[in-house]
Amino acid sequence: MNKVSTLMAGACVLTACALGSGANTIAQGQGPADRPAVTVRGQTYTPRSILARNMGTEEDQTTAFSPHKVIGNIYYVGTRTLSSFLIVTPEGNILINSTYERNVPTIEKSVAQLGFRFSDIKILLGTHAHGDHQEGDAVVKQRTGAQVMVMAEDVPAMQAIKPGGKEHPIDRTLHDGDSVTLGGTTLVAHLTAGHTRGCTTWTMTAQEGGRNYNVVFACSLRAPGNVTPAVESEFTRTFKLVRSLPCDVPLGDHPAQYNMHAKHARLKAGAPNPFIDAANCTLEADIQEAMYRAGLAEQAKPAQP
């Protein structure tokens, strides 16, 4: 396998998405295109470079990134390239994104390293119905008894994620604008469809140093290779909506979407929290919208003779 096809195994790519560990819809050697190229804030991206940035290597997808506090009661417990966030409350904890099923023990270990108990997870949320973000839901539910909540528009795709034949747990179906509250923390579910039908961006307020900060857990905004009219109308609404969300702390379901590695390297006691980064709240939307529009323009071109 060459590097690009290794990156794609089990992950969502521009042309297709594997919906579970068993669904191998991607032919070997067929990678995302290296065009169109777009330049945003001085950096050039192609579909291939974005996929490489998001997924890294197989090892990056499965190796724990140093678990750390992001802000307030929010902690990072994911791998180098697949985000998983723990939100700690006095009445139990919330996990956003179980990632791949094989990563669940790794996430459990990161939770323990931070001094929390995996069994205290009462609610399991997610950003979208792709295996690299929510394949592990059934195992997290088995180990914690957490309530699993899914945006209505993602329910069919979520039900198709059944590693080892296990049914995907869904305890509550959510709708745009619904809120989820536990122990004084409220998360709001925003439907930001396009990447999947029920792609969900979560927002909450975190307290640090006597101030409130608006935190945005963004869903992927990466467009599929072929944009249908239905997907086009989803993205038209979504790009506008994500830019309107109050935001001080941008986060994403892949660490590269918010430059986690560079920010984490700047974490220092007594220094400003690098995850507070309002100036870059729309950077990922800017990159993905530029790529989306460039892709649409190519799609509209007549086929070359």
Q: Answer yes or no whether residue 197 interacts with Zn ion by CB under 5 A.
A: no
The residues near 141 (Cβ < 8 Å, ≥ 6 apart) are 124, 148, 169
> Is 26 one of the binding residues for Zn ion (CB under 5 A)?
no
Tell me how far apart the alpha carbons of residues 263 and 66 are, in angstroms, rounded to a whole number. 13
Which CB sits closer to Zn ion, 103 or 220? 220
Nearer to Zn ion, 12 or 77 (CB): 12
Minimum gap (Å) between residue 213 Cβ and Zn ion: 26
Q: Which residues, including other chains, have CB under 8 Å from residue 42's CB and lie 6 or more apart?
A: none
Contact 78, 65 (CB under 8 A): yes
CA pair distance 127, 2, nearest whole angstrom: 29
C-beta of 227: minimal distance to Zn ion in Å?
Answer: 15
Local structure of 24: helix, strand or coil: coil
- How many chain residues are in contact with Zn ion, going by CB under 5 A? 3
* Nearest CB to Zn ion, comparing residues 11 and 174: 11
Using the rule CB under 5 A, is 12 a contact of Zn ion?
A: yes
| Residue that has been written with the tokens 């329910």 in this structure | 155
Closer residue to Zn ion in complex, CB, 130/141? 130
Judged by beta carbon, residue 12 or residue 95, the one nearer Zn ion is: 12
Verify binding: residue 263, Zn ion, rule CB under 5 A.
no
Residues 56 and 81: beta-carbon distance below 8 Å = yes
Binding residue (CB under 5 A) for Zn ion from 130, 168, 190, 263: 130
Q: Which of residues 201-230 bind Zn ion (CB under 5 A)?
A: 220
Q: Which residues pair with 202 in a beta bridge?
A: 189, 217
Residues that bind Zn ion (CB under 5 A): 12, 130, 220
